[in-house]
Amino acid sequence: MKKIIMLLAAVAFSTAAFAQGDKVVVKDDATGAKSTTTVRDNGTVKTETRTGRTEAGEKAYNTKEDVKVAGKKAGNKVERGAKKTGKAVKKGAKAVKNKAEDVVD
């Protein structure tokens, strides 16, 4: 029974997908504009067009990417500095401990 239901569901989904018709997508990489044309079985044509980024949008996107890169670089520098500081503090604490033992002896 379970297999029959699964088989019917698969047939229903494949039929629905087949009924969508042919789909053609044209994308302009330079501007990011995209045009999708779908021809349905009943002969109707549906066209969707999305424009790319405007000049201001492109500048905002580039700024966002620059900030992301700068943040990563700054984070790496801070991490490296913290590691170096931690190592120096350990070394200094070890030196103080050795001196304290010398004085006690």
Interatomic CA distance for residues 38 and 19, integer angstroms: 11
Strand ordering across the sheet containing 45-50: 22-27, 34-39, 45-50
Q: Quick one: pLDDT at residue 76?
A: 95
* 42 has a pLDDT exceeding 80: yes
Q: Could you tell me the CA-to-CA distances from 61 to 29, 40, 50 in Å, in that order?
A: 15, 36, 17
Q: How confident is the model over 56-105, as pLDDT tens digits?
A: 878 888 899 999 999 999 999 999 999 999 999 999 888 887 776 655 55
pTM value?
Answer: 0.39
Q: How confident is the model over 46-55, as pLDDT tens digits?
A: 888 887 777 7
